[in-house]
Amino acid sequence: MMRSFTTLLESRDPALGRFRAYLLEAGTDLFGAWLVDVTYGRIGTRGRRIRHVVQDEDEARKLVRENLRRRATAKRRIGVAYQFRELVDPCKWYSEATLI
């Protein structure tokens, strides 16, 4: 996949037994189709991967925004906030405004 956006988020709290990782990747394949891959699970495991095939870049951006918005509510839902561990964003998809 030719990546336009990649981010790795982690949520850690040993007291609660929370060790979660969330990898979000978006880009095009060799044929020009837009893909958004979501990989999540316990840190240190292979995790589960879901691949979304979307119509165009705008739909890929929308799906990425929706996923990031959901991760932003983790503190309220699971008791531990996600932290960015890696952000590769050459096309400037991410901004604080996208989470509002």
| Each residue's pLDDT tens digit, 13-64 | 999 999 999 999 999 999 999 999 999 999 999 999 999 999 999 999 999 9
The pLDDT of residue 99 is 53
The pLDDT of residue 93 is 87
CB 71 within 8 A of CB 57: no
Architecture of domain 2-93 in CATH? Single Sheet (2.20)
pLDDT band, very low/low/confident/very high, at 95 (cuts 50, 70, 90): confident
pLDDT in tens, 4-13: 999 999 999 9
The pLDDT of residue 64 is 95
Is a pLDDT exceeding 90 seen at residue 98? no
Statement: the pTM of the whole predicted model exceeds 0.85: yes
Let me know if 8 is exposed, middle or buried by CB neighbors in 10 A (0-12, 13-18, 19+): middle
Q: What angle do CA 8, 38, 41 make, to 5 degrees?
A: 70
Domain spans in the chain, listed from the N-terminal domain onward: 2-93
d(CA 37, CA 53): 9
